[in-house]
Amino acid sequence: MMRPADRTLRVAIVGAGLMGRWHAFSAARAGGSIVAVVDPDQARARRLASRSRAARAFSTLDGALERADVVHVCTPTAAHVAVIAQALDARRHVLVEKPLAPTVAETIELLDRAKSHALLLCPVHQLLFQEGVHAALSSEVLAGLRHVDFTICSAGAQGTDDAAHDRIAMEILPHPVSLLIRMQPAFAEADWSVRHPRPGEIRALAQAGDVTATLLVSMSGRPPIHRMRLIGVRSAVDVDLFHGFAATLAGGVSRRHKVAQPYLHAGAVLRAATVNLARRSLRREPAYPGLRALVGRFYAAVRTGGAPPISAEETLAVARTCARLSGMLTGQQTR
């Protein structure tokens, strides 16, 4: 369903939990009008709906679809396929929290269904749209890239059992994988070596051409951190993915530079963090940097009939890579 380019898009939020709240926040600031909130917990749905003048609370998607142009899916992953399929069959565009679907086969089926209806279906890989990531991917380091390192320590599984630790760690995988494939598409075909030393712990190594990548996801490592480092032949870039900024580290090799490097590094991070905090404060962007930019680009594509901000091919490449990693980890768990 297309609306004129100058009309405000009507938005339904499916799932009124933490991510549903942040999607509603970002949707409103990207120019959408929240008209429906869907959640079987009606008290929770009403609380979120009360923040938007035009919104109504629903326990199922049926009534909400009549009011909306775009559906944001913020439910647990197990519910994604049914919700997405219903929204697409009602001719609504869909933006979905990662992962888009539990399996590659379901991802393919949903992407094909969206294409057959000439609709947009896009996963929320919001890190791709952070300003710090954009700065890193536009820097000279990519021209001579040698290594990419991800360190992700999350408190998201705190207080849960071992199975939840593993599930949440695997649900984090699309973040680094989407960044790797955007930087170096050859990583979609790379061979991975994976270790699973304990529940909620993933260690992985891959090589694409002459570029290597390492990945640590830990549910118990502290402090919480989400960092990407790109190492090139002339310089390196540190990207703070929690906060959305990047700091460039000069590649000098003189004795003077080696002595000064800790101070230069700290100064670069301090400057980048300060500018980023001021910018996000002015934009009223307290959390999830990149989400509003992704939502805005998705809405622009809906209005104009343009391409989604993440292509179907890239979405599928991420899903396939994550499935391979997940399969390797599951194999280690069952030995």
The residue extents of the domains of the chain are 10-125, 131-288+324-329
The predicted structure's pLDDT at residue 6:
63
Q: Give residue 102's identity as a one-letter amino acid code.
A: P
Which CATH number describes the domain made up of 10-125? 3.40.50.720
3-state secondary structure the chain: CCCCCCCCCEEEEECCCHHHHHHHHHHHHCCCEEEEEECCCHHHHHHHHCCCCCCEEECCHHHHHCCCCEEEECCCHHHHHHHHHHHHHCCCEEEEECCCCCCHHHHHHHHHHHHHCCCCEEEECHHHHCHHHHHHHCCHHHHHEEEEEEEEECCCCCCCCHHHHHHHHHHHCHHHHHHHHHHCHHHHHCEEEEECCCCCEEEEEEEECCEEEEEEEECCCCCCEEEEEEEECCEEEEEECCCCEEEEEECCCCHHHHHHHHHHHHHHHHHHHHHHHHHHHHHCCCCCCCHHHHHHHHHHHHHHCCCCCCCHHHHHHHHHHHHHHHHHHHHHHCC
What's the confidence (pLDDT) of residue 157?
A: 95
Q: For residues 311 and 171, is the Cβ–Cβ distance under 8 A?
A: no
Q: What is the reported pTM?
A: 0.95
Span 237-253, pLDDT tens digits: 999 999 999 999 988 88
Residue type, 74: C
CB atoms within 10 A of CB 122: 24
Q: What CATH architecture applies to the domain 131-288+324-329?
A: 2-Layer Sandwich (3.30)
Q: How far is CA 87 from CA 81, 228, 276, 286, in A?
A: 10, 35, 36, 30
pLDDT of residue 4: 53
State how far the Cα of 55 lies from the Cα of 24, in Å rounded to an integer.
11
Tens place of pLDDT for every residue, the chain, 335 residues? Answer: 444 566 799 999 999 999 999 999 999 999 999 999 999 999 999 999 999 999 999 999 999 999 999 999 999 999 999 999 999 999 999 999 999 999 999 999 999 999 999 999 999 999 999 999 999 999 999 999 999 999 999 999 999 999 999 999 999 999 999 999 999 999 999 999 999 999 999 999 999 999 999 999 999 999 999 999 999 999 999 999 999 999 999 888 888 888 999 999 999 999 999 999 999 999 999 999 999 999 999 999 999 999 999 999 999 999 999 999 999 988 765 43
The CA-based angle 314-320-321, given to 5 degrees, is 90
Task: Count Cβ atoms below 10 Å from residue 151 Cβ, excluding itself.
Answer: 17
Task: Report strand pairing: 225-232 vs 235-240.
Answer: antiparallel
Contact 246/228 with Cβ under 8 angstroms? no
